[in-house]
Amino acid sequence: MCGIIGFAGNLPAKNILIDGLEQLEYRGYDSAGIAVMDPEKGIIIKKKVGRVADLRDAAKDMETSAVTGIGHTRWATHGGVTDVNAHPHRVGQVTLLHNGIIENYRELTVQFGLKDKLVSETDSEVVAAFLDMVYEGDPIAAIRKVVKLLSGSFALCIMFDDQPDKIFSVRNVSPLVAAASKSGAIVASDLTALIAYSKEYFVVPEYHILTLTKEGIKVEDLKGNEISPEILTVNWDISAAQKGGYPHFMLKEIYEQPDALARTIMPRVKDGLPFLLDDGIDDEILKKLKRVNIVACGTAMHAGMVGRTVIENKLRIPVTVDIASEFRYKDPIIDEDTLTIVLSQSGETIDTLEALRLAKRKGSKVLSIVNVKGSTIARESDYVLYTHAGPEIAVASTKAYTVQISAMYLLACRIAIVKGIFSEDEARSFIKNLENVGELIKETLLNANNIKRIANFIKIAPDVFYIGRGIDYTMSLEASLKLKEISYIHAEAYAAGELKHGTISLIEEGVPVISEGVPVIAIATDEAVYSKVISNIREVKSRGAYVILISHDENIDDATICDKQIKLPEADATFSVFATAAVLQLIAYYVSDAKGLDVDKPRNLAKSVTVE
Ligand code: M6R
């Protein structure tokens, strides 16, 4: 969850570290800190509670010619949000920072009598103290000894007082990528911090120790064998990870959806039909599957629910969707005939990764739909269908979600073809519709000002309800997550027919002049259940709700149905989800912005959840 960076090179380390932390800040923003190795003054540490901008301010007067250093932006797990708990931690001759959770930090503290060396409440400082205890002038030997005894997840950047101009790094589970460039060697939690220096990088292998110097990076396993990791190339540039004139990353990413969808869909369509062989997904594996099991977290899990609706409705293949953190502990029913589909933007979500490992142990083949190239989930899957959303920086996921749905649709269509469920014409028509979803989003975005005005009615509400049936219910779930996470308004999603089984008691009229009734955002795109949803809307409307209807209808001029309407471009419900998603994302965005909140970095959250 935290973002970490280490640099050893020819340029002033302070600025490189702080610039890198700014790129990594979406991973956690409780506190930030750097440590540099000054040639005259030795290690200098600056760390404090707050954002990277606060650290930059605090480090303004820090005079140093250091060209080596480490930096950290924290999402607190062990120990409160305080300056002392901020990283880096320094114990004796070791300065260290950490991303992950050291599960046996208490045992290590007791076993090795480290308590008196500790000043913070963090698990990370225990590693620094332990390293300092075993260090006898050979950094690799000390790191080897220590990491063998650590349990949990970690990505560490370490400096030793008597090893000038060197950074050491090692990881288990928590992500790390590294690059050797003209400016120096750099290691970081993700590519956004590296890309300004190099387009070529490698994924740091687990339990391998890196030594970074201005000459390059040495990688060795725990036995001391040097290895040459596979070099990968980034297929986007630094501008993709910048705001590009938009006030927030989230808004930029909402607007990037048509392009992201085109990049994900178009290369996989050949002669009007889905083609997944270039991704290594052969028809044999799809032909023999009898069940599908989808596992993911948060928004990715909601994309999986949309996928389930389509696979079940159109292919008649049973699908289960599980929250990865639940799946891991429930002894799931899966076998060799089950295809497990794992969805993850980051490819690093720990619960999703562990769910993947469990599914494999149970004999299921795993196909992952992942955005980050070379991520752990991608590497451990049997098959990978990469989405090409580019870097998603806002904590609230938007473009990653719609491209995940598009990848599920490509897959569903291919399965339908190989199993003889779709005729060629049906498959062609499905793909034609899929190729058009970017246009649906573009048309929807033209309506942004209207959506912004509607968001103004919502911003004062303490509670908001989303309702829909079938595929629209799955959209409601995602919509309520989106609104909650960035606007802090309590929001709930209900299957439209379910509200009256209890929750309708929460619907009440507003106080005239001061407020409207409880907002109910109703999604009605599916012709098959349209009239049912309208009846459900009338039920809440007649009890005082302030209803915002999202549908294909031409202007509804009927105050007994809705107060506001957001019209979607004409499309079948299966493909309307893309336009609906854009509307719901914009509602959440504009509400959060109107409330003056930090849209891209909502409180208590971090982009990539690498702790359980
Ligand atoms: O990187 P992943 O797709 O595995 O992340 C899963 C969730 O943590 C993520 O979708 C989260 O729910 C977002 N903040 C939602 O906007």
> 2 catalytic, yes or no?
yes
Pocket mutation for ligand 1, best pick of 249, 297, 302 (most atoms within 8 Å of C-beta)? 297
Taking residues 208-218, what's their average pLDDT? 97
Asked if residue 585 has its Cβ within 6 Å of ligand 1, the reply is: no
Of 1, 341, 345, 348, the residue with max ligand 1 atoms within 8 A of its CB, to mutate for a pocket test, comes to 345
Determine whether the shortest distance from the Cβ of 345 to ligand 1 is under 6 A. Answer: yes
Q: Are 169 and 156 in contact, with CB atoms under 8 Å apart?
A: yes
Chain-centroid distance of CA 298 in Å reads 9
Mean pLDDT, the chain, rounded, equals 93
Average pLDDT of span 328-342: 90
Ligand 1: residue whose CA is nearest its atom 12 = 298
Peptide bond into 88 cis (omega under 30): yes
Q: Is 611 in the pocket of ligand 1 (CB under 6 A)?
A: no
Per residue in 257-272, pLDDT (tens digit) is 999 999 999 999 999 9
DSSP 385-441: EE-------SSS-SHHHHHHHHHHHHHHHHHHHHTT-S-HHHHHHHHHHHHTHHHHH
Least confident of 18-32, 131-145, 554-568: 554-568
Is the distance from the beta carbon of residue 609 to the nearest atom of ligand 1 less than 6 Å? yes
Q: Is the CB of 577 under 6 A from ligand 1?
A: no
**In ligand 1, which atom is closest to the CA atom of 400?**
3
Section 239-255 average pLDDT:
91
At 3-16, the pLDDT tens digits run: 999 999 999 999 99
pLDDT, tens digit, 9 for 90 and up, residues 17-28:
999 999 999 888
**Residue 283 pLDDT:** 94
Catalytic residue among 365, 373, 541, 607: 607
Tell me how far the alpha carbon of residue 478 lies from the centroid of ligand 1, in angstroms: 11
- Ligand 1 centre from 595 Cα, in Å? 23
Q: Is residue 157 flagged as an active site residue?
A: no
For range 132-160, the mean pLDDT: 97
| Residue 501 pLDDT greater than 80, yes or no | yes
Q: pLDDT band for position 512 (50/70/90)?
A: low
d(CA 23, CA 56): 13
Q: What is the CB neighbour count within 10 angstroms for residue 214? A: 18
